[in-house]
Amino acid sequence: MQSSWRFFIVTELLLFVWAIYQLLGNIPILIFIVFAIINFVYSVKKVHKTSFNHFQKVSSLVVMLLCFLSSPAVWLMIVLAILFVGLKGVEVSGIDLFSNAPWRKKQIKMIKTVTSDSKSGRRFKRPWIGNQRFGNDTYEWDDINMSIVYGDTIIDLGNTLLPKEDNVVIVRKGFGKTRILVPTGIGVMLEHSAMIGEAQFENEHYRLKNESIKVFSNEYDEATRKLKIVTNTLLGDIEVIRI
């Protein structure tokens, strides 16, 4: 996911440079942009503002927008941004747009098996920035311990089988929303700390301001499979959703 975002940013920057080149080569459009910028700066810096000054600001912004939209490169930037954000949003949310398509009705899915790897001494990296989703496909459970600077995170436990012991999910995050999908019948303990945020757990809603909460599901003591969720967030929400 990190490489795809890098490709998107580089492509947008290249298109932006191309757009600037096109605007500099179009003298009439360039004159309109310069005039709109001067008009906008004048209306903003004027001490005693009138309704006409507000009209100047709005009209200047409209003129600049129309001038930029006259460049084909800008339209390519917009189309690329819509496609990329739309596809990435579908990927993170886990929605399959073609799940009911006719060609999927007789689809054959082959399961690939691999030899078990040693869990001791494994090293792996996770991106610090960006939206992430865990659990799109069937996977072997392993405790989750992750740190994120910014981004939304979805952890789906519906495609794995939790062992009959304590299982742990630890998420440290600067900014962003966290959703954890937990199958029915699993005892859940949530310990959440946030500077500013909200928590939803077992149909209860909590607002936090530099606070911490620790709550348990009703069947936690009797459940054979238990999940401990520990999250720390500067600004963001946490949702524990039963599936």
Which domain range does residue 209 map to?
Answer: 127-242
> Between 85 and 58, whose confidence is greater?
58
What is the percentage of the chain residues whose pLDDT exceeds 90?
0
- Across 100-120, b (16+ Cβ under 10 Å) vs e yields eeeeeeeeeeeeeeeeeeeee
The pLDDT score that the predictor gives to residue 116 is 53
Q: For residue range 27-78, what is the model confidence (pLDDT) as tens digits? A: 888 888 888 888 888 888 877 777 777 888 888 888 888 888 888 888 888 8
Kindly list the distances between the CA atom of residue 124 and the CA atoms of 18, 144, 156, 180, 223, in Å, as whole numbers in the listed order: 38, 12, 20, 21, 32
Number of residues written out for the chain: 243
Residues 6 or more apart whose Cβ sits within 8 Å of residue 242: 181, 182, 183, 184
The pLDDT score that the predictor gives to residue 118 is 57
Residue that is last in its domain, among 93, 111, 138:
93
Residue that is last in its domain, among 48, 76, 93:
93
The pLDDT score that the predictor gives to residue 4 is 66
Q: Does 120 reside within a domain?
A: no
Q: Does 115 reside within a domain?
A: no
User: In the structure encoding, which two tokens stand for residue 28, read together?
Assistant: 């009439």
Q: Does 178 reside within a domain?
A: yes
Domain count, the chain: 2
Q: What is the DSSP letter of 8?
A: H
Residues 6 or more apart whose Cβ sits within 8 Å of residue 134: 144, 153, 154, 155, 156
Instruction: State whether the Cα torsion 238-182-150-145 is positive or negative.
Output: positive
Q: Does 114 reside within a domain?
A: no
136 shares its domain with 74:
no
Q: Are strands 178-182 and 238-242 parallel, antiparallel or unpaired?
A: parallel
How many Å apart are CA 73 and CA 80, to the nearest integer? Answer: 10
Instruction: State whether the Cα torsion 236-87-16-64 is positive or negative.
Output: negative
Find the angle CA(189)-CA(191)-CA(197) to the nearest 5 degrees: 130
